[in-house]
């Protein structure tokens, strides 16, 4: 007698092609469709017969039309064979100066990489939007406003994450162009508020990276002998974070999704050239996205007045720039303009990029929210001491003292030939080897 699952499979195989297509069209992504096609000959033949139709339907339900141009641009950037200036200039002209028109139909083999990468983008977009909204001021979540991000808000984070990956693909960490050149090739193609969205995404990603990184700073025996400190609220220019971010979203996805200490540690160790031995230290990078955003993203403004409100309409339009995605909701642009108007414009351009005041607003994702949330123009003034208290409370004197005591103990273990993960409460994971 056939089991229940076998019976259901027989019934499904006997369905007309149209019904199987209807069932398949509800798949979440194209990997599921591929798995179904490889399940049996009948399903394979159905997928082959209606490949373009079913693939296009699933992909367009997975990646929203307002996000698709960014997804296609990033997909093209993965194929960049050179980071030389001429190649970047050509790519920027073909893909950023002019928007790519998405194909109307897709084959499974062509669309599968986009679907797979969008799963990673979607994962981080949900994480970042929830984290930012939960950190933000209470009135942003109070009824009748939603306590969770709306679909349009999540899609703004998705577009910012695609821009983040695009930046990683265009600018190799081994040969980063000067800030002015990055402004010409990349940042100038996006509005000021879109670049602020990228800044928000970058700072929020640093927070996600901080959890696995800080675990090793606090507990790894070898790292206990290194001058490394946890990444906290005010450690926005962490060279270790910049190194990890430069590897892109796929790397970060692997890092945050694994609970295995050995795998996590291996991911965080600096890459070495072939033939060289690893120094067993975390990778570090200076001047990647953080510096690029703080300098290269700013439009060139001569004779900048101190007050943003002193700019005439033409000057404001020039400063804000033309958006890559023309968001029909005025919320992000209005929030950005209102926050700049609260500060001196010269401070925004020259001094503010990593100031704690702006840092806090970016961790709140202030340029991601719909206009229905009261981000703008009722943005309160935050006294700088209040913001600094947030940073101080995150890395207290007690925690610093505990870390120093931990380092002393781990140094003793290292001297005796120990390695691995250690804590005051759990020493069972220490691996002992011959003392050196």
Q: Where are the strands (E) in 30-169, listed by range?
A: none
Q: What secondary structure letter does DSSP report for 432?
A: E
For the stretch 271-309, pLDDT in tens is 765 554 556 788 888 878 877 777 655 555 444 555 677
**What's the alpha-carbon Rg for the chain, to the nearest Å?**
25
DSSP at 177: P
Helix (H, G, I), strand (E, B) or coil at 303: coil
The pair of structure tokens assigned to 103 is: 């194909």
pLDDT in tens, 47-64: 888 888 889 999 999 999
Output the six-digit token pair for 304: 């900048």
CA distances from 231 to 82, 240, 389 (A): 33, 9, 16
Three-state secondary-structure class, residue 173 = coil
Q: What does the DSSP assignment read for 374-393?
A: TTSS-PPP--HHHHHHHHHH
**8 Å CB contact between 69 and 189:** no
Q: Is the distance from CB of 155 to CB of 284 less than 8 angstroms? A: no
If one counts every other C-beta atom within 10 angstroms of the C-beta of residue 233, the result is 21
Task: Please report the pLDDT score of residue 279 as a whole number.
Answer: 67
Report whether 162 contacts 73 (CB < 8 A).
Answer: yes
- Identify the pLDDT of residue 6: 53
Residues of the chain with pLDDT under 50: 1, 7, 276, 301-303, 346, 350-351, 376-380, 382-393, 436
List residues bridging with 420 in a β-sheet: 430
Per-residue pLDDT, 435: 52
Are 115 and 59 spatial neighbours (Cβ–Cβ below 8 Å)? yes
Give the containing element (helix H, strand E) for 377: none
Q: How many Å apart are CA 362 and CA 156, to the nearest integer?
A: 14
pLDDT at 320: 81
Check the CA dihedral 340-343-344-346 and report its sign: negative
For residue 416, which of 397, 394, 395, 433 has the smallest C-alpha distance? 433
SS (H, E, C) 117-140: HHHHHHHHHHHHHHHHHHHCCHHH
**How far apart are the C-alpha atoms of 150 and 144, rounded to whole Å?**
13
32, 203, 317, 334, 347 from 375: Cα distances, Å: 39, 19, 21, 9, 21
Find out whether 134 and 41 touch, Cβ atoms under 8 Å: no
- What tokens were used for 406? 């931990």
Distance (Å, whole) CA 367 – CA 153: 9
pLDDT at position 387 is 46
User: Under a CB-based contact definition with an 8 Å cutoff, are residues 250 and 120 in contact?
Assistant: yes
Write down the pLDDT at residue 394. 59
CA pair distance 96, 121, nearest whole angstrom:
20
Peptide bond into 34 cis (omega under 30): no
Tokens of 367: 């340029």
């Amino acid at each position: 007698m056939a089991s229940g699952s076998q019976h259901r499979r027989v019934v499904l195989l006997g369905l007309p092609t149209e019904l199987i297509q209807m069932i398949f069209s509800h798949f979440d992504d194209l990997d599921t469709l591929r798995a179904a096609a490889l399940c049996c000959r009948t399903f394979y033949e159905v997928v082959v017969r209606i490949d373009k139709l079913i693939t296009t339907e699933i992909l367009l339900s997975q990646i929203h039309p307002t996000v698709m141009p960014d997804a296609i641009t990033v997909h093209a950037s993965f194929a960049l064979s050179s980071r030389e200036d001429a190649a970047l200039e050509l790519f920027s002209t073909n893909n950023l100066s002019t928007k790519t028109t998405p194909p109307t139909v897709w084959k499974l083999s062509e669309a599968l990489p986009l679907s797979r990468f969008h799963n990673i983008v979607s994962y981080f977009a949900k994480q970042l939007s929830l984290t930012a909204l939960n950190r933000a001021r209470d009135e942003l979540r109070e009824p009748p406003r939603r306590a969770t991000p709306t679909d349009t808000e999540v899609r703004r984070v998705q577009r910012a994450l695609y821009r983040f990956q695009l930046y990683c693909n265009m600018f190799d960490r081994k040969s980063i162009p000067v800030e002015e050149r990055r402004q010409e090739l990349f940042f100038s193609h996006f509005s000021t508020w879109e670049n602020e969205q990228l800044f928000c995404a970058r700072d929020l990603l640093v927070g996600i990276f901080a959890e696995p990184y800080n675990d090793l700073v606090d507990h790894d025996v070898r790292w206990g002998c290194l001058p490394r400190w946890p990444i906290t609220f005010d450690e926005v220019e962490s060279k270790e974070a910049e190194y990890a971010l430069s590897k892109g979203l796929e790397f970060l996805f692997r890092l945050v999704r694994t609970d295995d200490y050995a795998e996590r540690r291996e991911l965080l160790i600096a890459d070495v050239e072939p033939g060289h031995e690893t120094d067993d230290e975390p990778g570090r990078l200076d001047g990647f996205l953080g510096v690029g955003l703080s300098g290269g993203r700013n439009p060139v403004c001569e004779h900048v007045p101190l007050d943003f409100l002193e700019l005439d309409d033409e000057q404001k339009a020039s400063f804000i720039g033309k958006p890559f995605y023309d968001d029909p909701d005025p919320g992000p642009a209005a929030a950005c303009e209102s926050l700049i108007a609260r500060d001196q414009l010269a401070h925004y351009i020259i001094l503010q990029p990593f100031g704690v005041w702006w840092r806090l607003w970016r961790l709140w994702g202030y340029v991601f929210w719909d206009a229905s949330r009261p981000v703008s123009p009722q943005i309160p003034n935050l006294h700088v001491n209040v913001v600094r208290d947030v940073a101080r409370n995150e890395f207290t004197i007690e925690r610093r003292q505990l870390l120093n005591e931990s380092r002393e103990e781990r140094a003793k273990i290292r001297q005796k030939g120990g390695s691995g993960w250690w804590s005051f409460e759990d020493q069972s994971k220490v691996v002992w080897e011959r003392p050196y």
